Structure formats: structure tokens, C-alpha cells
Structure 1
Amino acid sequence: MLLLKINQIMDEKRLNTRQLSKMTGIRWNTINDMSENKSKHWSPENLEKIMKALEIEDVSELIEYVKDDKKTTEE
């Protein structure tokens, strides 16, 4: 599964979701959902705004792949 590392980066930069919302113009609720990985879809526009605001140059700094250990059974 893919996870956003927004909370980790905000902590490093000493920012909160409201500050990032003001910096990006993205609604606070949207930033909050994305930072808590509750959002299932991320618009490329929002990801770009967040990357610019957090001074991230590589998307791999923002998105992390975590192997999902849940096995699906096919019967």
C-alpha cells in the first residue's frame, strides 16, 4: 500500500496541518485526511502543491510503499 509521509515531514519542519493548508491553498480537512492517510485518492495537483510547500524535489520523499501482509484467498 502507498502511504503519504506528510505528518513526518511536517514534524521535521515544525508545521501543522493548518499552516500547510494556508501555504498550499488546500482545504484543512483535505490536508488532515491526507496526512492521516485516510484519503484514498490524491490529486496530482494537491501532491504538487504539497511538494512545493514542503520543498520536496522527489516524490519518493513524500510517498512510501509499505508491503501489505494481508493475503487474499482465491477460491
Structure 2
Amino acid sequence: GGRIVLPLATLEAFASVQCQLRDAGLAVHSLQAQISRGCPVGGHTRLQPLNPVLIVSGRSPHPHPATN
């Protein structure tokens, strides 16, 4: 079997890709990653949030047998 992993920026793309992967018979997993960048403020460091990234992966539920 194989795996596909897609980083996405919009909720609409996230929903569409999830449906397409499920329709293709793949097992779908999803997560949201949030990253922040350190920025100086008054001699200290604060975290400036960046836009979240939505990550969808699809995997064949049945691995293909190895070929010789």
C-alpha cells in the first residue's frame, strides 16, 4: 500500500480532500499544526502565531503483497 500526505491552508480544501480520499477507499487521518515565531518585545521574547496548517493523509487500508 501507499500513503499520500497533503498540507492544506483552507477549510474548504481540507473538507474536499478528506471526501476525495475516503471516496477512493483510503483510510483518512487528519491533524492541525500550529507554529509560532519568536519575536522580541521589551527585552523578552513573545510568540507570534502563524497561520495553522491542516494536514490530511490517506493510506490504503490493505497493504499490497510484496513482489519478487
- TM-score when scaled to structure 1? 0.30
Greater fraction of residues in strand? 2
Greater fraction of residues in helix? 1
